[in-house]
Structure 1
Amino acid sequence: MFWYGNDGGYGGGGGVVVMVVGMLLFWGLVIAGIALLLRRPHREAGGMVPAHRSAQQVLAERFARGEIDEGEFTARLSALHGPKKL
């Protein structure tokens, strides 16, 4: 009633297709952005992603924090290195 011709104001039906494709692209980008935010690795207080640490580094950090004593540290360290070869 308020448009010119029978195209509904969308340019003969092709505009509807463009709108649907545009809407699907928009929501796809929104969903992909949310997924990327959720999968992003958690950052520590310094803003850096912690690097992969070896078992010996983790053991040394636990000893430095006082979580384990010197005897346990040396015992676990020798267990990490395995039996000594002669």
Structure 2
Amino acid sequence: MFWFHGVPGWGWFAMSLGTLFFWVLLIAAGILLARVLTRGAGHSQAPGGTGRPTPEQLLAERFARGEIDEDEYRRRLSVLRQGPGRPER
């Protein structure tokens, strides 16, 4: 290890502060990288934080991709919103 001889007190303070700043930046970058990698493929989360899209969101994505037409989208959306056990009108 190389020791600096004759560095005034403010020099030691500046080196210490620089080292602290370096480690804070390194740790923050690691945390941000971990968050980006664990976030997933950009799907929005369902209420409750399950990490999976809701059935309505999946249906909207299928409609946006053109897999289903507007009539089918509205029919399926009304079925989803009726809930289980309710009679269909």
TM-score (norm 1): 0.49
| TM norm structure 2 | 0.47
